[in-house]
Amino acid sequence: MDVAVIDAGGANLGSVCYALERLGAVPRIVRDADALAGAVRIVLPGVGAARPAMRALRKGGFDIALRDSEIPLLGICLGMQLLFEHSEEGDTACLGLLPGVVRRMLPGPGVRVPHMGWNRLRPLREDPLLAGIEDGAFAYFVHGYAVLPDAHAIAGCRHGDVFSAVVRRANVAGAQFHPERSATCGARILRNFVGVPA
């Protein structure tokens, strides 16, 4: 199982690769679109800010390649946000693989931003990516921007307002949380994505 892990400047490449290796996948870090050849899955991790991450993706030719690709793609944290059309973070045009705008999360009574720590997933509709994930399963989040749930949200989470925690449209999927840091729940999401039997 050849999994291309895109380097967009995020700091979590090693932990994502290790989590994939534990499932029996063979991850390899790629820094330009030509290196996607032969991959059967693509993972776009992200820790950092939207503008420099998109700059790195454009420099590597990923912005065009991912729009043309039919290989299943999973965006993680910032990587999920980059799948959408636009981010308020740095007023950044993103990949446009999913419709919608990534918006700054708003603090409030008992609601700190950024959203950091464990929180519960709430499935919104059935999807193979969520197979084996129970309502209320805990996942680990670190983010200050989010996308409101829409037709492509398959799981939500509440931190003040409800936001999209897992999204999918055809071969494009995203997890706002960090599956590589989310214990059993995160491992199951990755297993479902790469298609490795449990």
Q: Is 180 a catalytic residue?
A: yes
Q: Are the C-beta atoms of 143 and 115 separated by less than 8 Å?
A: yes
Closest CA to 43 of 24, 61, 30: 30
Phi, psi (degrees; rounded to nearest 5) at 178: -100, 100
Active-site residue flag, 134 = no
- Residue written as tokens 């708003």? 106
Token pair of 96 as six digits: 């446009």
- What structural domains and CATH numbers belong to the chain? 2-194 (3.40.50.880)
Q: Which of 152, 159, 178, 185 is catalytic?
A: 178
Residue 89 scores a pLDDT above 70: yes
List, in sequence order, every residue forming a beta bridge with 6; answer none if it has no partner.
30
Residue 17 falls in the annotated catalytic set: no
The one catalytic residue in 143, 152, 180, 185 is: 180
Amino acid identity, residue 198? A
Would you say the pTM of this structure is higher than 0.85? Answer: yes
Catalytic position from the list 17, 77, 94, 157: 77
pLDDT tens per residue across span 132-142: 999 999 999 99
What pairs with residue 74 in β-bridges? Answer: 43, 173
Count other Cβ atoms within 10 Å, centred on residue 192. Answer: 20
Each residue's pLDDT tens digit, 46-57:
888 999 999 999
Q: What is the pLDDT of residue 183?
A: 96
> What pLDDT score does 196 carry?
58
Whether 110 has a pLDDT exceeding 80, the answer reads: yes
Under 8 Å between Cβ of 76 and 46: yes
pLDDT tens profile 12-31 = 899 999 999 999 999 999 99
